[in-house]
């Protein structure tokens, strides 16, 4: 395998990624211009428009420059994580996001692990028990979970496990790792179930497809044990398409996190986004939109790389017949 081919592929992906992010940044920047009122209004965020303040804002955001220059200057600042100050709190936007990143990251990682556990394992089990009661139950459950958006799931879980049978806390973040784990279980579940259902269907279908392949039959016919074939053959091959979708799962997570964080008041960046939209905190909205876009794009790149690592066919594409 040539490392060059991989580097080339990564290089190409990176270029595409930079272009994509450039386009997104332009759209995000333009947000202040499509918002109702003047651009200064957008940056004022409801503060009285004293001449001094207007002057300061005009200077801060280069509002007297032509549109494209403004964009360029904005982008230059954005590249060093300077998105301006929140109109609501007057703090640098990046600081505020930094302070909020913790709970969101914890939630995201927790939910991601739950998703993998609740998605892949039952998916594989269902595929192995195809057409049995367990399979049907899992598949039906998956449709329900898939159709229940995180905020509804969150509220239902909240009602069931915090009100009816209060085993989990209804709000808050907790302190220390275990306490946080306990506090974030319901939100992470609410976030994970929908995506896990998607993953369950995906991995089940993929596993069924793989189990049907000739090479599985051939491996068995050669006398390899069932377990060996399941683990080394079926599971690994079934994982390939699962890995490819896992990158796009992150997009689901971000959308879902907005709702779950709101429903459980977790004070993460999802909630910050909602708060920023409610208060038209433009610099904050811009920074968050960029952050999320970049994270999603990077996650997709990672998924692609994982795909390359796990599936040799991609690696050798350039060379094989």
Partner 1 sequence: MSPHTERVPASGPPVLDIEDMRIERAGTGDPIVTALDLRLAAGESVGIVGESGSGKSMSAKALIGLLPEGVVAKGSARFDGENLLDLSERQWRTIRGRQIGMIMQDPFTMLNPVMRCGRILEESLLAQRRLSRAERRAEAIRRLAEVGITDETVVDRYPFQLSGGMRQRVAIAAALARDPQVLIADEPSTALDVVTQREVLALIKRIQEARGMALILITHDLRVAFATCDRIQVLYAGSLVEAGRADDVRERPLHPYSQGLLLSEPPADRRVRQLVAIPGSVPSAAEVRDRCSFESRCRWARQVCRDGEPPLAVVGDDRRSRCVRLPEIEAEMAALLSKAEEREDGPAGSRSDDALIDVVNIQKVFRSGGRTVRAVDDVSISVRAGESVGIVGESGSGKTTLARMLVGLESPTGGEIVIDGIPVRRWRDLTTNERRRLRRTVQTVFQDPYSSLNPMRSVGWALKEAIVTHDRGATGVERRVGELLESVGLSPGYARRRPASLSGGERQRVAIARALAVEPRVLICDEPVSALDMSVQAQILNLLRQIRAERGISCLFITHDLSIVRQASEYLYVMHLGKVVESGPTESVLDHPRDDYTAQLLSSVPRPEEQWLTT
Partner 2 sequence: AGTGPAARKDPDGGPRPADTARSADPGKPVSDQHIPRLSLGIAGQITLVNPAENMGAGGLYANQLGLEPLLRIDAQGKLQPWLATEWKRVGDKVYEYTLRQGVKFWDGTELTSQDVKYSWDRLRATGSRRSAYFAPVDTVEAADTYTVRVRLKQPDASWQYTPAMWYSVVFQKKFAEQTGTKFGQPGTLLVATGPWKFDSLNPATGMELSAHAGYWGGKPRVDRISVKSFADDNSMALALRAGEIDLAPTVGGPTGFDAAAGGGTVTTVGTCATSLLSLPLQQAPWNDVHVRRAVAHAIKREDIVAATQGRAGGPESTLMSPLLLRTLGSEKEVKAALEEVETYPYDLKAAKAELARSSVPGGFRFTFKTIAASAPIAQVIAAQLKQIGIDLEIKVLTETAWYAELGGQNKPLTYFETGPCVPDPSWAALFLSTDKTGAPVGLNFAGYTKPEMKKLLADGLLEQDPQERLAIYAKVLEHLGEDVPYVPLYAEGNTYASIDYDLVEFGSFWSNMPWVLNVIPK
Partner 3 sequence: MTEAAITTPQRLTGRRVRRRPPVLIALCFAFMALVLLMAIAGPMLAPHDPAQQDVLGSLAPPGAEHWLGTDGLGRDVFSRMLAGAQSAILGPLVIALASMVCGNLLGLLAGYRGGIIDSLVMRWVDLMVAIPSLLIIIVVAGALGGGYWLAVGLLIVLTIPTDARVMRAATLEQTPRPYVEAAKTLGVTDGRIMVRHIWPNIAAAAVANSVIIFAGSLVSLAGLSFLGLGAEPGTPDWGQMLSENQPLLFTNPVAIIAPGIAIALTATSVNLVGDWIYEKMSSRGAGR
Q: What one-character DSSP code corresponds to residue 131?
A: T
Contacting positions for partner 3 (CB under 8 A): 20, 23-24, 28, 31-32, 34-36, 131, 140, 143-144, 146-149, 151-153, 155-156, 158-159, 163, 170, 248, 251-252, 254-255, 258-259, 262-263, 273-274, 276-278, 280, 282, 285, 289, 292-293, 296-297, 300
DSSP 20-50: HHHHHHHHHHHHHHHSSS-HHHHHHTTS---
> Which lies closer to partner 3 via its Cβ, residue 26 or residue 316?
26
Stretch that binds partner 1, among 116-124, 192-200, 230-238, 282-290 (CB under 8 A): 230-238
CB of 87 to partner 3, least distance (A): 13
Distance CA(296)–CA(257), nearest Å, equals 13
Among 53, 125, 205, 310, interactor with partner 1 by CB under 8 A: 310
Distance CA(195)–CA(239), nearest Å, equals 16
**How large is the greatest C-alpha to C-alpha distance in the chain, in angstroms?**
84
Among 249, 271, 273, 288, interactor with partner 2 by CB under 8 A: 271
Q: Any contact of residue 221 with partner 1 (CB under 8 A)?
A: yes
- Which residues have C-beta within 8 Å of that of residue 314, sequence separation ≥ 6? 307, 308
Q: Any contact of residue 171 with partner 2 (CB under 8 A)?
A: yes
Give helix then strand counts, H and E, for the chain.
14, 0
Q: Any contact of residue 222 with partner 1 (CB under 8 A)?
A: yes
Q: Any contact of residue 52 with partner 2 (CB under 8 A)?
A: yes
Q: CB under 5 to 8 A by kind: which of partner 3, partner 2, partner 1, none does 64 bind?
A: none
CB of 136 to partner 3, least distance (A): 9
> Which lies closer to partner 2 via its Cβ, residue 96 or residue 311?
96
> Which lies closer to partner 1 via its Cβ, residue 50 or residue 225?
225
CB of 309 to partner 1, least distance (A): 11
First to last CA, the chain: 14
CB of 178 to partner 2, least distance (A): 16
Structural Rg of the chain based on CA atoms: 24
Could you tell me which residues are beta bridge partners of residue 85? 92
Q: What are phi and psi of 50, to 5 degrees?
A: -70, 150
Distance CA(68)–CA(78), nearest Å, equals 15
Exposure b/e, 101-134, CB count within 10 A at least 16 = b: eebbebbbebbbebbbebbbebbbbbbbbeeeee
Q: Any contact of residue 312 with partner 1 (CB under 8 A)?
A: yes
> Which lies closer to partner 3 via its Cβ, residue 118 or residue 249?
249
> Which lies closer to partner 2 via its Cβ, residue 271 or residue 311?
271
Judged by CB under 8 A, the chain residues 68 through 97 that form the site for partner 1 are: none
CB of 85 to partner 2, least distance (A): 11
Q: Any contact of residue 64 with partner 2 (CB under 8 A)?
A: no
- Which residues have C-beta within 8 Å of that of residue 114, sequence separation ≥ 6? 188, 189, 192, 196
């Amino acid at each position: 395998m040539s490392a060059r081919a991989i580097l080339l592929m990564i290089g190409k992906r990176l270029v595409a990624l930079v272009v994509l992010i450039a386009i997104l940044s332009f759209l995000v920047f333009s947000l202040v211009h499509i918002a109702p009122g003047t651009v200064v209004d957008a940056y004022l965020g409801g503060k009285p428009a004293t001449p001094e303040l207007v002057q300061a804002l005009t200077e801060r955001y280069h509002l007297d420059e032509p549109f494209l220059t403004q964009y360029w200057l904005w982008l230059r600042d954005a590249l060093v994580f300077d998105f301006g100050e929140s109109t609501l709190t007057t703090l640098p936007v990046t600081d505020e996001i930094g302070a909020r990143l913790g709970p969101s990251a914890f939630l995201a990682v927790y939910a991601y692990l739950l998703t993998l556990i609740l998605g892949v394992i039952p998916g594989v089990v269902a595929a192995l028990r195809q057409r049995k009661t367990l399979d049907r139950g899992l598949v039906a459950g998956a449709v329900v979970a898939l159709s229940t958006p995180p905020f509804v799931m969150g509220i239902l879980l909240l009602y069931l496990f915090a009100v009816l049978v209060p085993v989990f806390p209804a709000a808050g973040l907790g302190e220390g790792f275990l306490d946080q784990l306990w506090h974030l279980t319901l939100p992470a579940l609410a976030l994970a179930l929908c995506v896990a259902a998607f993953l369950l269907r995906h991995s089940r279908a993929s596993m069924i497809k793989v189990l049907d392949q000739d090479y599985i039959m051939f491996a068995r016919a050669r006398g390899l044990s069932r377990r060996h074939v399941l683990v080394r053959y079926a599971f690994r091959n079934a994982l390939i398409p699962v890995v490819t979708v896992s990158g796009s799962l992150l997009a689901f997570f971000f959308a879902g996190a907005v709702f779950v964080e709101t429903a459980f008041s977790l004070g993460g960046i999802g909630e910050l986004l909602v708060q920023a939209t409610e208060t038209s905190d433009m610099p904050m909205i811009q920074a968050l939109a960029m952050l999320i876009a970049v994270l999603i794009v990077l996650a997709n790149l990672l998924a692609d790389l994982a795909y390359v690592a796990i599936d040799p066919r991609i690696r050798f594409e350039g060379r094989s017949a």
